[in-house]
Structure 1
Amino acid sequence: MSDIGFVRTEMLPEKDPPASEVGVIGWVRHNLFSSWLNAILTVLSIGAIYYVLSGVLPWIFQSVWNADSLSECREIMKGTWESTHGHACWGVIRERWLQLLFGFYPNHLYWRPILALVLLLAALSPILFSDKVSSKMLILTAAYPFIMPFLMWGGTIWGPVCAALGFVIGFLIIKHAAAAIGELWAMIAGVAAALIWWFILAGPVAGALSSVLPIGIEAVQSRQFGGFMLAIMLGVVAIGVSLPIGIVLALGRQSDLIIVKYICVGFIEFIRGVPLITLLFVASLLLNIFLPPGTNFDIILRVMIMMTLFSAAYMAEVIRGGLAALPRGQYEGADSLGLNYWQAQRLIIMPQALKISIPGIVSTFIGIFKDTTLVSIIGLFDVIGLASAIRADTAWNGIYWELFAFIAVLFFVVCFSMSRYSMYLERKLKTDHR
């Protein structure tokens, strides 16, 4: 017999994978029931989730919104569900949500903090999404630190203008004097000139311009600030200013200049060894003792300074960790290219150190933003302080969970957004392609 061979001339069509390997069923099988241990943990987790949601969801959705007091809430609950247990009274949020957001800020001026928030998002967009937003928006980014105080506090426009002129003066001196006296001395001269302008000349110049051209908007006192608006304002200032100060402190701690190094080390270790609430009490009660008689140092500005310094000390250690993680070859590579110290830091060292430090930096940002609630202890009516004031009202005396749940949602939205952006930035800057 002769062997008979057969060669197929057409391709077989592809078959669909088994239904148990793809789609929802495949995902569940591989992620939730891949082994008997995972199956047990999945069942226990589903039971725990059901137990929690069976109590939380009715509390949220079977609730009262149209009541003007806690007693009225309870009457409606008894009439509808025959029990006050397991039902929320959201009437307090419906009645006081504006106060929780804006504090005692004048009602007819709510457009100003709202506009400040919109401009904040616009000012951050060229920094957070540089590849998707026009670089021309950086003009707004540079101007926002002077626009925000003007919108929030109001008054004459010449105060923010004179404050901005201080930066212009310092920049021009650094730019034109660097070639003549060196970068370091030019930087010192520029900073000194800006400080002289701010502390000695800016006030009289702003007063003179205001008397000649009284341009401004209605002034708002700091005691009227409060609510979640105050938390955002304190958090934004502390986050935005602490990062550059932290970079300078981290570089100073690694400096070969002994005096600079020990000043930075002493500052960082002192601030990190003292609780933030102690610094806030210093800002609130003790700082005026060391100021000249009659000095009016705004309480919110004092709190901003203390929170910024506190955050900067922790930021310095986070960035120092990023600098320490860089291999020595990066420094040697910068030297081999003939770069000076500042060029090496700006072009090679610091970008890599900041990339390594992204999780720690964002964690510090989130921590300082949540720490803004501590200002309620020194008498500022942030969102926590207002919650206590609302509960002191006889109409809402005894209500707790609804207020704190609303506050928790506000903070969660902001902190979760920062966390998600951190993950987006890490993916964007990822270079190992693993």
Structure 2
Amino acid sequence: MIMTTEPINAIPSREPPASQVGAVGWMRQNLFSSPFNSVLTFLSGWLLVIAVPALFEWAFFQAKLTAANGLECHEASGACWAFIAEKHRLILFGTYPFDEQWRPLVSMVLLVAMIVASGWRRLWNIWLLPLWVVGLTVVAVLMWGGVFGLTYVENTLWGGLPLTLILATFGIALAFPFGVVLALGRRSKLPAIKSICVIYIELIRGVPLISLLFMSSVMLPLFLPEGLTIDKLLRALIAIILFAAAYVAETVRGGLQAIPKGQYEGADSLGLTYWQQTRLIILPQALKIVIPPLVSVFIAMFKDTSLVVIIGIFDLTLAAKAALTDPAWQGFGVEVYVFISAIYFVFCYSMSKYSQALERRLATGHSR
């Protein structure tokens, strides 16, 4: 008898062709999967070949990094980054007193540090609230002054990036819980509460933020008693909070509607009260589901803070426009708007990447 070690029904291994694996396979699947996609790929490549070298030529190779005035910059064919170097303090800090600009700088660093710390899951406990209370108190003392030997600075002189961060931070922090309450109220079984929430959400979402800012700046003082005034910065912040809360409410309501009915029935079977099941079971699941749209609302809100320029608040955008009024440095609007666009991009991109990481960490994705 002849013995063999090979399996009787051995199936020969079949490897995918080289055109379906590696870089070639990726390009075939993503860039040239159809004639239409192939045309778009070639068109996009052609545009990149034209635009990217010209952009690098303007921004780096022919850029002017140092100049005594705008006339020297105009002689160069590239970007005038010397203008940004000359006016960066005005752009970043607005009309805040020049010798005291270390205070908004420290306040800005402190706000960013608190935001980063709040994204660290190990700090998601009761100590996070006192951290914010202490941090915001320090920011207020630094910005206003008047104590500990610091010169008093009115908030009408605040401006630039610190003011933008203050508006965005307070706006997001206060609009989020207000929006959650509105979302719960809209799903309430009590007709009066539901009607109030529906009217508020639909009314606010039906008007642009600019109109709310105008009303808070122009109309609201007309309805206040004589002698009573509300600070312009506070009025703008209230308008931003009210506007963002309506969008947060609709986003959270979508998450609440996505929760299966069995979760509610299970919570009822455990004998939990409405607030217990909402706080412990329903709301945590709903918020995990809506992390991406919630972050989109926060990013839009951060960018919408630039609209306060229309009521004369010296935010980052208005500070950049003020830098362009210097007769010795005129004609460099592209450079200054590229600069502030890069600042907005860094903050918005950071929020987007953090939301993606948080979504993966909490396993909010639903695979099918």
TM over 0.5: yes
Q: CA deviation at 1:57?
A: 0.8
Give the Cα separation in 1 of the matches to 2:136 and 2:181: 20
Match status 1:117 vs 2:108: yes
Give the superposition deviation at 1:136.
4.6
CA distance in structure 1 between the aligned counterparts of 2:194 and 2:110, rounded to whole angstroms: 38
In 2: Cα distance, 1:222 partner to 1:19 partner: 65
Q: 1:284 to 1:258 in 2, by over 3 A?
A: same
Q: Aligned Cα RMSD in Å?
A: 2.8
- Aligned to 1:141, which of 132, 135, 149? 132
**One-letter code aligned to 1:313:** A
Native 8 Å contact 2:217 2:236 kept in 1:
yes
Deviations 1:259-286 (A, max 9, x none): 2222222222221122211111122222
C-alpha displacement of 1:144: 3.1
Aligned equivalent of 1:188: none
1:228-275 CA-to-partner distances (Å, cap 9, x unmatched) read 222111111111110000011111122222322222222222211222
Q: Which deviates more, 314-323 or 251-260?
A: 251-260
Alignment-derived partner of residue 365 in structure 1: 298
Q: Percent identity?
A: 48
CA contact (8 A) 2:175 2:241 kept: yes
Change (3 A) 1:123 1:386: closer
What is the TM-score when the length of structure 2 is the normalising length?
0.88
* Paired position in structure 2 for 1:324: 257
Tell me the equivalent position of 1:230: 163
The structure-2 alpha-carbon separation of the partners of 1:258 and 1:135, relative to structure 1 and needing over 3 Å to count, comes to: closer
Stretches of structure 2 lacking an aligned partner (at least 5 in a row): 7-14
Give, as a single letter, the amino acid of the residue that structure 1 aligns with 2:258: A
Query: Per the alignment, do residues 88 and 311 of structure 1 end up closer, same or farther by CA in structure 2, a change over 3 Å counting?
Result: same
8 Å CA contact retained: 1:280, 1:303: yes
Deviation at 1:33? 5.1
**Is the 2:167–2:305 Cα contact (8 Å) retained in structure 1?**
yes
Q: Does 1:57 align with 2:56?
A: yes
Indicate which of 55, 79, 85 corresponds to 1:88.
79
Comparing 217-226 and 92-101, the one that deviates more: 217-226
1:9-24 alignment runs, 5 A limit: none
The letter of the residue matching 1:7 is T
Report Cα offsets for 1:90-111 as digits up to 9, x if no partner.
Answer: 1211111111111111233333
User: Does structure 1 conserve the Cα–Cα contact (< 8 Å) formed by 2:90 and 2:320?
Assistant: no
2:215 corresponds to 1:282: yes
Contact 2:118 2:128 in 1 (8 A): no
Paired position in structure 2 for 1:108? 99
Q: 5 Å matches for 1:59-74?
A: 59-61=58-60, 62-74=62-74
The Cα offsets for residues 334-384 of structure 1, whole Å up to 9 and x where unpaired, read as 111111111111100101111111122111111111111111111122222
Give the structure 2 partner of residue 164 of structure 1: none
In the alignment, what sits opposite 1:7? 5
Alignment CA distance shift 1:428-1:236 (3 Å): same
Structure 2 counterpart of 1:315, one-letter code: V
Cα deviation for residue 142 of structure 1 reads 4.1
Distance 1:30 1:266 in 2: 49
Distance 2:79 2:109 in 1: 32
Aligned length: 360
Could you tell me which runs of 5 or more consecutive residues in structure 1 were left unpaired when the two chains were aligned: 9-15, 78-83, 157-214
Provide the secondary structure at the position in 2 that maps to 1:265.
helix
TM-score normalised according to structure 1 size: 0.75
8 Å Cα contact 1:113-1:151 kept in structure 2:
yes
Q: Is the 2:359–2:365 Cα contact (8 Å) retained in structure 1?
A: no
CA distance in 2, matches of 1:104, 1:431: 44
**Residue type at the aligned position of 2:134:** A
C-alpha spacing 1:263/1:286, structure 2 compared with 1 (3 Å): same
Structure with bigger RCO (C-alpha 8 Å, 6+ apart): 2
When residues 333 and 219 of structure 1 are mapped into structure 2, their CA distance, relative to the original with a 3 A threshold, is same
**What SS does structure 2 have at the residue aligned with 1:115?**
helix
- The match for 1:303 is 236
Q: Which amino acid aligns with 2:313?
A: L
Query: Helix, strand or coil for the counterpart of 2:304?
Result: helix
Go from structure 1 to structure 2 and tell me whether the alpha carbon gap of 1:340 and 1:126 turns closer, same or farther (over 3 Å shift): farther
Task: State the secondary structure of the residue aligned to 1:281.
Answer: helix
